[in-house]
């Protein structure tokens, strides 16, 4: 090798050495960074809540429709194609809201269709107890007997009484047996794509209050959640060697302002990564973050499929993405599920509607008017043409069934579940609007009840509407046979400024305090009115009576159910359907506008504020006068003390000046 070649060889060796050193230094610098970065994976959860048996799309009041399980199934499948390891969860109230619920106890259509859509886990909402403990037990057994795919069910704190506890009976034991057979548990552990999840169920305080005939015992929400988080985490560590993602299916809800029962749950209980929040029908455009917990809601009736993707580092989560996917007319129906639903409609017609001589899609009347939506019914205190129609239907149906005159009929916004559409109104539409509950006969649908109220108690009912509704919109009342007005600016529990009976000929009569009046309402509404004394801390009370004026034991209100001439219970929904049928094909013009039976206004005119005062206004005025007197006395004492001090100061100053003069002299 010549001298020039050797120099080139040495240069190559030096360059190679330098390059190798640079590579080693770069690798060495990168290793600590790699070691410090925690491993992180993404998880996706798809969710719904408050489906309420809405197998079919719901009118949006603007010529379109949202929801429908055949559409929902299409979107679920699309999302699972994108996220193969996604969980599909539901936050409860999967039943009660359409004609399909009538097969709840007999064939469990709701759980079966959820299984067909691919749901992994659901929980119970308050409406799963509408058919009482026995109905829940029958539903679970019917679901098992179907042999098809079913979602797991979790419920940790809303459970039947145990043997030896108050309320334990054969129905409670039937629920325990059904829980064991189905596998209902506090929580379940699931693995998807190498990630373990612990999913548990919780019922809230308001959910319990909305299930007066559940027969269940509500255990402390936060204590139960802490226990389940601890137990599920320990079980997953022991069995699988990893911590699980903790997901709570909570039927408790948020208040629309970023707070509510689920907010409190997240704030008080550590370790929950995600809360699927049902019950309040909330739609959260973005998750609520409380500490390390995310709270999500997708709206009711399957109007959206919620999708949340989280970063998971093995011990906690952070938000990656969140989306509410609309289920609307732009989504094609899944053909297989659409056929399944059609078969279910036939089952409902055969096993339920045939007893009423009606069909699922049978037209009852044409409606040329736009009625309030469900949200509008509750949004403000007002007279509603939809509420008027329902109350008139109850009064008409009770009189048709019994031949007895009914003075007043009452319904509440909380039992109006849907509006009636403009155009053709079908049997299905009417049932959906008044779909709650079950009667003493075990047949779906709350029945009407017939009781008597004194005039004084009837006036109290009107005051409940005026004073309680702002605090509890579901308590807004709509009535037939009575007219009244109230000033929203007046004293609480003394807002009503005038009331009278309204007779069929348009004449009015004064309501006499000690006279009995025949009143008809729905069973659930009657039970709620019976609970007024407890909910108003004893300030208000309404005593239901029999025709002789004897007080009724509200635990026996079912003894006063309205029956027709064949002895069948008159259901709320059927009263409305029959009333519409009586209109000869078109909804009567009276429902095109309100008729002044409830007048709501606001006035600060002193005459309007203080006319017709009752004890609450006198008490408030007495308290106000006492406060004014106290303030006057305090001011007088302060002024007197200041005056005394000023006098002492003046005399002292004058003496000082005198002394100064003496010194100068």
pLDDT at 39: 63
539 Cβ contact partners less than 8 Å away, ≥ 6 residues apart: 493, 616
pLDDT of 356-409, one tens digit each? 999 999 999 999 999 999 989 999 999 999 999 999 999 999 999 999 999 999
Q: How many CB atoms lie within 10 A of CB 65?
A: 17
**Contact between residue 425 and residue 580 where contact means Cβ atoms under 8 Å apart:** yes
| pLDDT for the residue 661 | 45
pLDDT (0 to 100) of residue 541: 87
Q: What's the average model confidence in pLDDT over 274-295? A: 97
Mean pLDDT of 624-641: 80
Percent of the residues in the chain that have a pLDDT greater than 70, as a whole number:
89
Work out the number of other CB atoms within 10 angstroms of the CB of residue 257: 7
Q: Is the pLDDT of residue 571 over 80?
A: yes
- Mean pLDDT to the nearest integer, 123-140: 96
Helix, strand, coil in percent for the chain, rounding step 5: 45, 20, 35
How high is the pLDDT of residue 127? 96
Instruction: Using the predicted structure, report yes or no on whether residue 465 has a pLDDT greater than 80.
Output: yes
C-alpha closest to that of 408 among 357, 462, 328, 363 = 462
Question: What is the CA 85 to chain-centroid distance, rounded?
Answer: 30
Among 265, 182, 264, 197, which Cα is nearest to 47's? Answer: 197
Q: What was the pLDDT predicted at 537?
A: 66
Q: What is the mean pLDDT of the chain?
A: 90
Residue 629 has pLDDT above 70, yes or no: yes
Mean pLDDT, residues 416-440: 95
d(CA 9, CA 3): 10
575-597 residue pLDDT tens: 999 999 999 999 999 999 999 99
pLDDT band at 657 (very low <50, low <70, confident <90, very high): very low
Range 19-30 average pLDDT: 40
The residue among 338 and 469 whose pLDDT is bigger is 338
**Structure token digits, residue 74:** 């299409």
Query: Is residue 616 pLDDT above 90, yes or no?
Result: no
Q: What is the mean pLDDT of residues 104-115?
A: 97
Q: What separation, in Å, do the N-terminal and C-terminal C-alpha atoms of the chain show?
A: 129
Angle between helix axes 69-82 and 335-351 (nearest 10 degrees) is 150
| Predicted TM-score of the model (pTM) | 0.84
Residue 122 predicted with pLDDT over 50: yes
What are the C-alpha distances in Å from 336 to residues 21, 101, 118, 299, 333?
65, 21, 13, 25, 9
State yes or no: pLDDT of 612 exceeds 90.
no
For the segment 514-524, the average pLDDT, to the nearest whole number, is 96
pLDDT value at 603 more than 80: yes
Write the CB contacts of 172 (distance below 8 Å, at least 6 apart in sequence): 133, 160, 161, 162, 215
Which residue reads 């679901």 in tokens?
143
> Given a cut of 90, is residue 455 above it in pLDDT?
yes
Q: Is the pLDDT of residue 330 over 90?
A: yes
Tally the residues of the chain. 665
Three-class HEC string of 31-96: HHHHHHCCCCEEEEEEEECCCCCCCCCEECCCCCEECCHHHHHHHHHHHHHHCCCCEEEECCCCCC
Quote the CA–CA distance of 187 and 247 in Å, as a whole number: 10
22: pLDDT strictly greater than 70? no
Distance (Å, whole) CA 596 – CA 323: 45
Q: How confident is the model at residue 157 (pLDDT cuts 50, 70, 90)?
A: very high
Which token pair is 243? 């911590």
Q: Please, which pLDDT band fits residue 103 given cuts at 50, 70 and 90?
A: very high
Q: What is the dihedral of CA 536, 537, 540, 541, to 10 degrees?
A: 100
């Amino acid at each position: 090798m010549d001298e020039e070649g050797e120099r080139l060889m040495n240069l190559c060796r030096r360059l190679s050495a330098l390059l190798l050193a640079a590579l080693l230094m770069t690798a060495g610098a990168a290793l600590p960074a790699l070691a410090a970065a925690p491993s992180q994976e993404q998880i996706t959860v798809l969710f719904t809540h408050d489906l309420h048996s809405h197998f079919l799309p719901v009118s949006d009041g603007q010529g379109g429709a949202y929801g429908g399980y055949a559409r929902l199934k299409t979107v679920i499948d699309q999302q699972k194609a994108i996220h193969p390891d996604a969980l599909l969860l539901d936050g409860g109230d999967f039943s009660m809201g359409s004609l399909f619920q009538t097969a709840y106890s007999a064939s469990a259509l709701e759980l079966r269709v959820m299984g067909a859509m691919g749901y992994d886990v659901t929980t119970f909402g308050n409406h799963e107890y509408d058919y009482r403990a026995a109905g829940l037990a029958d539903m679970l057994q019917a679901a098992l007997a179907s042999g098809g795919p079913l979602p797991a069910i979790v419920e940790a704190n809303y459970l039947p009484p145990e043997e030896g506890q108050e309320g334990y009976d054969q129905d409670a034991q039937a629920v325990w047996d059904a829980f064991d057979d189905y596998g209902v548990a506090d929580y379940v552990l699931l693995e998807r794509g190498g990630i373990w999840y612990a999913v548990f169920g919780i019922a809230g305080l308001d959910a319990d209050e909305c299930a007066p005939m559940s027969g269940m015992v509500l255990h402390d929400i936060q204590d139960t959640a802490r226990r389940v988080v601890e137990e599920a985490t320990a079980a997953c560590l022991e069995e699988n060697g990893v911590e699980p993602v903790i997901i709570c299916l909570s039927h408790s809800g948020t208040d629309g302002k970023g707070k509510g029962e689920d907010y409190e749950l997240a704030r008080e209980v550590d370790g929950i990564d995600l809360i699927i929040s049902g019950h309040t029908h909330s739609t959260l455009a973005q998750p609520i973050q409380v500490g390390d917990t995310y709270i999500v809601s997708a709206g009711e009736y399957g109007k959206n499929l919620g999708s949340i993707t989280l970063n998971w580092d093995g011990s906690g989560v952070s938000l990656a993405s969140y989306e509410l996917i609309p289920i609307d007319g732009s989504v094609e129906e899944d053909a297989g599920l659409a056929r399944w639903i059609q078969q279910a409609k036939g089952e409902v017609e055969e096993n339920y509607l045939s007893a009423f001589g009606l069909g699922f899609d049978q037209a009852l009347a044409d409606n040329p008017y736009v009625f309030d939506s469900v949200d509008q019914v509750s949004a403000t205190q007002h007279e509603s043409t939809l509420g008027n129609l329902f109350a008139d239907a109850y009064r008409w149906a009770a009189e048709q069934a019994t031949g007895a005159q009914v003075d007043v009929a009452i319904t509440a916004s909380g039992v109006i579940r849907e509006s009636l559409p403009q155009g053709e109104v079908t049997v299905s539409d009417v049932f959906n609007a008044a779909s709650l509950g079950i009667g003493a006969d075990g047949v779906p649908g709350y029945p009407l009840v017939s009781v008597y109220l004194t005039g004084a108690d009837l006036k109290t009912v009107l005051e409940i509407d005026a004073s309680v509704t702002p605090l509890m919109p579901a308590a807004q009342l709509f009535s037939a046979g009575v007219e009244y007005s109230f000033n929203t600016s007046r004293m609480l529990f003394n807002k009503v400024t005038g009331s009278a009976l309204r007779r069929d000929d348009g004449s009015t009569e004064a309501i006499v305090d000690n006279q009995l009046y025949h009143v008809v309402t729905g069973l659930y509404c009657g039970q709620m009115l019976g609970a007024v004394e407890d909910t108003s801390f004893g300030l208000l009370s309404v005593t239901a009576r029999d025709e002789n004026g004897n007080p009724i034991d509200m635990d026996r209100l079912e003894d006063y159910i309205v029956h027709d001439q064949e002895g069948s219970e008159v259901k709320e929904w059927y009263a409305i359907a029959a009333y519409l049928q009586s209109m000869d094909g078109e909804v009567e013009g009276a429902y095109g506008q309100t008729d002044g039976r409830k007048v709501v206004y606001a006035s600060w005119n002193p005459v309007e504020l203080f006319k017709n005062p009752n004890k609450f206004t006198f008490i408030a005025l007495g308290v106000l006068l006492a406060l004014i007197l106290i303030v006057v006395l305090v001011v007088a004492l302060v002024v007197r003390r200041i005056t005394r001090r000023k006098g002492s100061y003046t005399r002292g100053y004058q003496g000082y000046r005198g002394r100064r003069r003496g010194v100068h002299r």
